[in-house]
Amino acid sequence: MSSLLAAGTAAPDFTLPTGPKDRLTLHTLRGKPVVLAFYPADFSPVCGDQMALYNELLPEFQRLSASVLGISVDGVWCHAAFARERKIGFPLLADFEPKGEIARAYGAYRATEGVAERALFVIDAQGVISWSYLSPVAVNPGADGILRALESLAAKADK
């Protein structure tokens, strides 16, 4: 079992591919909340359902000013096919090489299987983890915890 980074920890910065030529750097999203959704593998049934749910909830995440990023150890071409098939409208980042480096930095790597854990993080506008959750790998964690964490951040920002 992994030991996830806890609330109050500075989110490790990273740059990962979002496609064959494009990369995304976490700190470029500062100023608004970010949801990191680590998941084991594209095209697995639970992962597909989880990412599809977050895709359906994109308008709600956007209403709360949050960016959503999916991260697995799959490569960019696998992500591209998965996103196309499931019509995913948020970036899927390839933690492919060195395999699982970012998942390891967040305490969200399953070394025995060589995949990311099913782990969620909400990062605040200043780059600090405000909420994290490790789901059993075979269970879709849904979005309730993410939405509560984002609503809490929004309430603090309104004060």
Q: Mind telling me the catalytic residues?
A: 47
Classify the C-alpha dihedral 91-96-101-105 as positive or negative. Answer: positive
| CA dihedral angle for residue 77, residue 129, residue 133, residue 59, rounded to 10 degrees | -60
Q: What is the DSSP letter of 137?
A: T
Looking only at the bridges linking them, the beta strands covering 129-135 and 118-123 are antiparallel
67: Cβ contacts below 8 Å, ≥ 6 apart:
29, 32, 33, 34, 35, 61, 90
Cβ 76 vs Cβ 18: under 8 Å: yes
